[in-house]
A and B are shown apart, each in its own frame.
Chain A
């Protein structure tokens, strides 16, 4: 099936540091979504991107839809302990298509 390559697979950072993670694909997507999953819970939508080049923020989170439509990144500024979790990217080719998910980035924050 379609693959989204998400990196890094895991990160262990100090509280207060900035974080960056990204997703790349060999094919074009028209929608990019970023989700966060807390331990024992389902993924929760953080940011949705619908246009190439779009840059969207949600508090300390910023995500961008790559110009080539084949990638997206998520930045977290000034990390805090509650940022711990697994972050997933997801892409959709066109309306009517299903989402394809990346493998996730596990973030650990040291107080």
Chain B
């Protein structure tokens, strides 16, 4: 298994509160990704990082921000959580975005916004 951990694994919070999810990898991979998974939508990319302090938006980035101060850690922040952000969040890593590269996923964080 790829060395990817996510914390917390479960969180319940209230609308309007800030939330930060953490992804930690031990593989020294350059690329890190945050996805959300919702019924009927599969996995949708929120943000990704291609190096320390280098990040870019994905398909569903509104309401989310990210930071990567170290190679091994990628943080996802919901500045003011809304009920529409209730979802399961997955972190993924890859060595590159080359044509033969693949992504490896963490175990996920289930977030409920009341």
Contacts and interface: CB of A to CB of B under 8 A. Distances in A.
Nearest to B106: A42
B90 A95 contact: no
Given A1-B59, A88-B42, A95 B108 contact: no
Interface in B73-114: 90, 92, 97-100, 102-108
Contact of B102 (A30, A48, A101, A102): A48
B44 A101 contact: yes
A102 B37 CA distance: 11
Interface of A: 1, 4, 6, 30-31, 33, 35, 40-45, 48, 50, 88, 90, 92, 94-99, 101-104
11 contacts: A1-B59, A33-B102, A42-B90, A42-B106, A48-B102, A88-B42, A90-B103, A92-B99, A95-B99, A96-B98, A99-B45
